[in-house]
Structures are given as structure tokens and as C-alpha cells.
Amino acid sequence: MKRRQFLERARLAAGSFFMPRLAFAEAEPDRKPNIVTILVDDLGYGDLSCYGATDLKTPHIDALAASGMQFSRFYANCPVCSPTRASLLTGRYPDSVGVPGVIRTHPQNSFGYLSANATLVPTVLKRAGYHTAIVGKWHLGLESPNTPTERGFDHFHGFLGDMMDDYYNHRRHGINYMRLGNKEIDPEGHATDLFTQWAGDYIRSRSGAAQPFYLYLAYNAPHTPIQPPAEWLDRVKAREPGMDDKRAKLVALIEHLDDGVGKVVASLKESGAYDNTLVVFVSDNGGQLDIGASNGDLRGAKCDMYEGGIRVPMCAGWPGRIAPGSHSDCVALTMDLFPTVCEGAGAEFSHEVDGRSFLPTLLGNVQPPEERLLFWMRRDGGPHAGRAYYAVRHGDWKLLQDGPDQPLQLFHLKSDPREERPVKDKPKVFALLRAALQNHVIQAGAAPWQKESVTLPPIEWGDAPD
């Protein structure tokens, strides 16, 4: 779809929900924007200064938010990592594309396998003339055919796996998952610095190219292990002498990440690409409280179906298109980025997606509010024994299960934003949401999340009693 067409469609939509249409003139309507999506790992809703943190400084992410639109009700598709990434790249619910849980090295602890039928955003954008790249953490497959260049990206410089056991040696379970394309590499340096440098290298390599680019930059930070460079930790401790060591380390890791984001934006400006680039910044799930994270006033944390596990910081800037200093309380999910990015790029697709574009909201145009049924789920091992748990939302009503052994509880988010008072006198609402959830579980169950050839090791009983 040409940009002139989708802007006109947005202008004709009824029911504006946030701000008046921008007064920007539509310059060069056929010039496609570059797109940079920055995904960070386990950054809590309350761990940016633009989201209310007072004990850390994130000037570069704050500047990105101030340059465009900041969202107050943006959600990850899952309270853990791989599923959210699957949704970002496919526009689908993660369990609908075979990724209900975290993809890991060992098959007995891996709960996802990206469906061969899933179409990823680089495939769609390449058809629209884009060069596509991923820098950083992939986490959607460790081997062929589920590697980035086999799933649509032209360029990959990063890490195939999940978390790193060390930010400096970049191993997971002793395995080196660092790659340039399909070639194993063993670079030196802190992973955040490496990903920042590689993103800048890619941006500079596209300088002067007629072809627009899509860069998906996925940092490991601030996921555990909490390993900030020493000088960044020293700086935080000098500034905040009363801060406990656990919090100080996380703050330093976040501030170091913020510096990297600033360098990436600087690369866009230096290369001349910035004025025609849509930049999106978002976290993959909520913060992990036991390592010092903050999710603001929200209940819960990473792995939880409460708001603290799934509501995340998100902002987007696009010079001349998104009004500086704008805010939105639009409810949107990671899967919505797929159609939003494609519409912004004028890239058409005909296959089914679960997300909906919020580009009109970004551009300040009218967009009808849509009280969709929204679903979250997670499947994992350990204490969950491979079982799944869920949440479903419609409007301000949210039905959640915060673990497979926990009961379903109904909350009304507008009157109870901290989800502290389960509603017990609305059986019809409860039943309707539960029925909707059941339908979703049945539909998503058609997508296998295991590799068919997996052989699990036998259980070691040891000295178990009779």
C-alpha cells in the first residue's frame, strides 16, 4: 500500500483516541523509511527515567521518547523471552507459531520450535525493497533451518542463543553461539558494546544506498547475569552512595545500555539516515525483581501474568511524522509491531496476523479504539513441569492464572490497576473470558512446539524412595 493511501485511510477512520492529526506536510510520499526496532531484555516498566525512575539516568532513551511518542499501556506478548520475539517478528500469538515458551539448548528444557509456516517481517519487507538485518540476540532457533538468514534476514551479526552466562566470553552452557552470518565468531568485549558497534557498522554500511533498510537490534541487557562494566558501576556508586549493591549493578547495566542506544541513534544521524528512520524501542517482558529491577507501581514481575510481567516501556520516534513529546494510552502488544512496521514501509502481505497496526496513532491521526480479546500464555519446565498458564483481556476486564497450579482470577484494571482485589460477583464476565481463552488454546494447539525428532534422556531416579 502506498503511503498516501494508508494516510488517507487513517484520516478517514472514525473515533480518534488521543491527539489531533499532525500538521506535518507529506514530503516525498514514495520515499520508504528506514526502520530500526530496538528490543531490550527484561527491562522493567519502572526502570527508565522517562517512566518515573529517580535513581537511574537514561538520557538517550528519554531523548528518543521525547522525540516522538511514549506509550503507557504497551504489552509484551509473553512474560518471558522467546515467545515475545516470535510475536514481534511474525505478528502472531507466539503459541500460534510454535513458541509458547523459551527455546533453550537442551531439548528437555526447551519449549518452542518456530513454525516453518510462519512468515517473518524481513520476508515481507524484502518484497517491498528493503535490505534486512538482525544484530544481537536471536533466541528463536539454534540450528538450521531456524537461523536468522534462513528465516529472511539478509544480514546477521549476533548471538543465536538465549541468555549469556557471561557478557564477556559470550558462552551459554560452554557453547559459543556468536555468529556473523552462519560463521562462528569469537569477539572480545562486553556484549552490549559489541551489539552497539555492530549496529553502527551496519547503519554506516547502508549510508548512501538507495535501498531502505530494516534493522532489528536485540540487546541481551539488562538480562542476568548482571555484569556492568566496572567504570559504569563505579559511576553509579559515586552518584548514589546509599544504593544497595544489587540495585547499583542493575542500574549500571541499564545506564550502559542507554549509552549504547544513544550511539546507535548517533550513527543514524552521522550517516544521514536519521531524518527518514522510524525508531522503535521496547522491552521483551517485565523486570526481574529479585535482581533489583523495578516495574513501577505494577504488581508482579518477569514470568508473571500480572501487569508487572507483561506491561513494558515502549516509545517510537520518526522525524516529521510522529509529533515530539506525544503520549498514548493505546493498548497495544508486541505482535502489533509487525503490521505497524509493514504499513509504515508500504509493504503488503495477505497472510493472517493477530496483530493490528497502530500506525495511525503514531502519526497522530484518528484511529478507532478496538476492545480486542487479547491473550497471553507461557509454557515452561522446572516447577511448571511443562504445563502452560494464561491471561485473557477484554477492555478493562482481565482473567489471569499466575501459574499452572493457580486458579483463574478476574480483575478490573481500571478500578484495580494493581490487581489486588479479585472480582467474584461477575460470573458472566468470568465465563465469557474463560470460554474465549479455551477457544484460543484449542486454535493455538494446532501449532506444534516440539521438534518431531527430539529424543529425551531417561529420568535418573537415583536413590528415590519406594
What is the DSSP secondary structure assignment for residue 175, as one 8-state letter? E
Question: What does the buried/exposed string (b/e) look like for 49-70 if buried means 16 or more CB atoms within 10 Å of the residue's CB?
Answer: bbbebeebbbebbbbbbbbbbb
Q: 390 in helix, strand or coil? A: strand
For residue 358, which of 329, 374, 337 has the smallest C-alpha distance? 337
Cell numbers 506491561 label which residue? 311
Torsion 186-190-193-195 (CA) sign: positive
378: Cβ contacts below 8 Å, ≥ 6 apart:
78, 79, 80, 83, 100, 101, 303, 305, 388, 389
Q: Tell me how far apart the alpha carbons of residues 393 and 371 are, in angstroms, rounded to a whole number.
A: 9
Count CB-CB contacts under 10 A for residue 191.
24
Is 50 catalytic? The answer is: no
Residue 60 annotated as catalytic:
no
**Which segments within 144-263 are labelled E, that is strand?**
155-159, 171-172, 175-176, 178-180, 183-184, 213-218
Q: Is 37 helix (H, G, I), strand (E, B) or coil?
A: strand
Residue 63 in contact with residue 244, Cβ under 8 Å?
Answer: no
DSSP tag of 136: E
Cβ contact 306:400 at 8 Å: yes
Closest C-alpha to 326, from 50, 65, 74: 65
Of the candidates 60, 78, 81, 190, the residue annotated as catalytic is 81
Active-site residue among 60, 78, 131, 139? 139
Run of H or E including 374: strand 373-379
Distance CA 178, CA 184 (A): 6
* Cell numbers at 325, concatenated: 513529546
SS3 of residue 413 by DSSP = coil
Contact 344, 110 (CB under 8 A): no
The residues assigned a catalytic role are 81, 139
